[in-house]
Structure 1
């Protein structure tokens, strides 16, 4: 019998289905465990045959790994999703205003809401970009905001990913896998579609093209096949119908125009969806030893001849130290209360909060402010005394580089294991597009900690994913009629 732990997304503590999940649970009971396992095997074969992979640097079993996937979906009800969607639009709007202000008037600093030293000490702050605003003042065109639900049911923003957020290709492929291998569970369910995302992404990019571009041309800029998200780069370029390029394929002319080398000659490029970190983007401006970027690219961008998405310098707003100020950022720019809460956060550069953290390390999660992918995190309740002493020394030496948070017990969802259905901890990364307007993809990437009891959901550290269903009410918000009969869906072109 399935035993819930804390807040479960599908079942109450009494073992009854959560309201949005009742129809799915009724359908699920028609299948035996062996039948579910057969669906799981079919899904894994599809992943392998289609080459849906990700890279793990330094992994002993090799670099490229098949994407881990669980065949049971994570279901989000319409009421929860409306809150999430509105909260994300609010948050991304405020963060775009914040970034534009930081690189221009710096009103929020002058008014004492965010301290200057916090910005200047951020490794992702780019002072060379002062005095510039991109088209539509859109800095973070593509955002991935990580959400978690605590055991009391509250949805929190865990972190903002505003530089080169990855994972959306797996959202699209997860849905395709489900339609291929488990089509019957969709019937009669108003599951919001996700397949509009590539079209929406392309429109967002073109909407932010320089005003002088009459028929803008967009490309995806990748660092190459050894990047951990290379599958996603190729997938999105293909789905949008644009060229996938590397730095050597682009050149900046003396009049600051970007061109792409093609077999038919040079072709002008107006928008670059770049999947290269700032440091490697332009050897003239950032790291001079970079072989991945394009010399002169920042010069062309500042001249208004090309749009870079996301814009360089956006990382200042997803620094985990700045994260602690996002509720105040929302209040400052929008005069609104945040719709989605931050996880309570202690900032170690403030003396009183640092002393509290150092005396309660065994209760807290310690996070480096400039790491990602789950690296460098110390889970206080599960750490050894030696680990706690080591992180205490690091905090004392460089307090700006650490924050601390209470250890949340992430919500769980049923996951197919070798023997049965068992609860596994999950989070959610919805994707937000910001250009002329803001679009939130319904659902997002549900990441699941496949190891029993683990809270680490990152694929680089043993996590997997699930298809994410947003169930729309039939009386509005656009029931996904195209997904009620998924057996007619066309095969993926990925």
Structure 2
């Protein structure tokens, strides 16, 4: 096991079986990281511990938190941030960006199809029961044409680098993908703590997300509207991502509203203001489908707006993302992504899928039940890392419990080989040094009418527990600033 030469990297043991983002296989620092490595290594352990505390205080002072939901209670935590940034060169980023756009466009066409003519189903490429059995398929969206033809205005694509050095997509998130505010706040915190590091690299900005999001949302405004009024709707301050909702509203320069702040009259949506009602044209919603309108979905929902869906059906308001998009980020639909891309775009996937077994297929169910100990088992409709079982970390009793859950509802589960996510130096408080930790990357793609934008950075998430492969903040993960280098 090789040792780094700077004292602050003294505990950095390199596992040769893992793909290390900053070291070559020969044990040398990759050229793109050399300057950064020397800058960080020039700090004493105490100096870096102080910088780390400064960054943490920056997050605390800005209120950058998230909610963790336990079995019995929930509590609020400061979002863990690591000061050592991840660097992605221009050529690698080109692959990631083109692959993210390709998937987002293909999923949008898939959504249009499954809510209209269902050609992909009629031609036997995607099975009917996969769609009809999805909890996120909304019959209310049948034959409804969303403004501009866009369903998934905002998509989050979770990308990993495996031990073979290639990029793979773990999953697509197109309901309400979160985390983009942390991308921007990570950059701000790093600049405050170590501004000088940016003098040595030409990196793309990440602070232009909000203006691009607003621009693209305005391209899908309802017909007949010249200057659309946009708002962000939130479930409220107790939601796990409330910081993000308020941050995006503020940086876009639009109002942050709750359901009680809006009302519908004559199938148009209005916002209550001190100057009287103001018509609303575009709603970036962070409220789940079934809670957006108690007249159409859950009748006891206090989060939504009565009559909102009727206004949407009439084309008088744009909802982003569109209701019903969840059918396409179902992890069972993910297994068909290569075929979906080929069918709608006549292209080969730029980013590969991880081989995935869907337990509704009898032969794949049999394999999964026999190999739970070497697979990652995921529910198809959960987010935030909840419900995931990593086979080689389970006891015999836990394996039997997972097998029982799968057999009771095979449609609900998929399984994947245990992929070895790449690792990156991460500062660990307990050892006061850098250690290898697994990372992934969530990209953020915004689709408008004939326009698209990918944030040049994305959210690098870190599994802070040694050996852990689950990077979600809700499961104890943190994040890093992500630098995409200019050509």
Q: What's the TM-score bracket when you normalise by the shorter of the two chains?
A: over 0.9
* Per-residue Cα deviation, 1:34-64 (whole angstroms, up to 9, x for no partner): 3222211110111112211111124889622
How do residues 41-60 of structure 1 correspond to structure 2 at under 5 angstroms? 41-58=53-70
Q: Which residue matches 1:123?
A: 135
Q: Say yes or no: does 1:428 pair with 2:451.
A: no
Paired with 2:149 and 2:71, the residues of 1 have a C-alpha distance of 40
| CA apart distance, 1:133 | 1.8
Q: CA deviation at 1:73?
A: 0.6
Calculate the TM-score normalised by the size of structure 1.
0.93
Q: Is the 8 A contact 1:271 1:308 kept in 2?
A: yes
Q: Answer whether contact 1:146 1:429 (CA < 8 A) is retained.
A: yes
- RMSD in angstroms over aligned alpha carbons? 1.3
Match of 2:355 in 1: 344
Residues 201-237 of structure 1 show CA distances to partners (whole Å, capped at 9, x for unaligned) of 1111111111211110000000001000000111110
Give the deviation of 1:295 after TM superposition.
0.8
Equivalent residue in structure 2 for 1:164, among 163, 171, 176? 176
Residue in 1 aligned with 2:389? Answer: 378
- TM-score, normalisation: structure 2: 0.95
Distance in 1 (alpha carbons) for counterparts of 2:457 and 2:125? 33
In structure 2, the residue matched to 1:222 is: 234
- Aligned residue for 2:69, secondary structure, equals coil
Distance across 2 between alignment mates of 1:81 and 1:112: 35
Aligned to 2:289: 278
Aligned partner of 1:138 in structure 2 is: 150
The 1-side partners of 2:42 and 2:482 are apart by 21
Match of 1:160, SS state, is strand
> Aligned residue for 1:106?
118
- In the other structure, the counterpart of 1:235 is 247
CA distance in 1, matches of 2:29, 2:318: 47
- SS at 1:208 equivalent: coil
Structure 1 residue matching 2:323: 3-state secondary structure: coil
Closer/same/farther in 2, CA of residues 439 and 225 from structure 1, 3 Å limit: same
Check the 8 A contact 1:54/1:228 in 2, yes or no.
yes
Is the Cα contact below 8 Å between 1:233 and 1:275 reproduced in 2? yes
How do 1:17-28 and structure 2 match up within 5 A? 17-28=29-40
CA contact (8 A) 1:4 1:12 kept: no
Aligned: 1:453 with 2:467: yes
Are residues 134 and 51 of structure 1, via their aligned partners in 2, closer, same or farther at CA, if it must alter by over 3 Å? same
Larger CA deviation: 181-190 vs 15-24:
15-24
The CA deviation at 1:27 is 2.9
Tell me, yes or no, if the aligned pair for 1:4 and 1:13 is still in contact at 8 Å: no
Any unmatched runs of 5+ in structure 1?
A: 474-494
Deviates more, 1:96-105 or 1:372-381: 372-381
Q: In structure 2, what is the equivalent of residue 186 of structure 1? A: 198
Does 2:161 match 1:149?
yes
Structure 1 residues 61 and 38: CA distance shift in structure 2, 3 A: farther
Instruction: After TM superposition, give the deviation of residue 128 of structure 1 in Å.
Output: 1.5
Cα shift readout 1:316-360 (whole Å, capped 9, x = no counterpart): 000001010111100000110000001100111111111111111
Q: Secondary structure of 1:265's match?
A: coil
Moved more, 342-351 or 6-15: 6-15
Q: Matched residues in 2 for 1:390 and 1:125: separation?
A: 29
Using the alignment, how far apart are the partners of 1:417 and 1:69 within structure 2?
11
Per-residue displacement from partner, 1:370-426 (whole Å, max 9, x unpaired)?
111111111111111111111212222211111110001111100111331101111
Distance in 1 (alpha carbons) for counterparts of 2:39 and 2:177: 34
- C-alpha displacement at 1:13, in angstroms? 3.2
In the alignment, the residues of structure 2 paired with residue 34 and residue 235 of structure 1 have an alpha-carbon distance, to the nearest angstrom, of: 33
**Deviation (angstroms), 1:442:** 0.6
